[in-house]
Amino acid sequence: MRCNLLIGKFNVDVTLLESAIKHLRSKKESRIKELMDLSFS
């Protein structure tokens, strides 16, 4: 029982981590696009 709770919490942590990474990556990519647009204009 306790093991299942730990695994469930770990899965939630991983999901949060993945969504955070995706969020950061998309922010970074949009930032890079902004910089490229500035340098090309």
- pLDDT digits over 4-27, tens only? 888 888 888 999 999 999 999 999
**What pLDDT was estimated at residue 17?**
93
**What pLDDT was estimated at residue 8?**
86
Indicate whether 1 pLDDT > 70: no
1 or 23: which carries more pLDDT confidence? 23
Alpha-carbon dihedral angle through residues 13, 15, 2, 4, given to the nearest 10 degrees:
-160
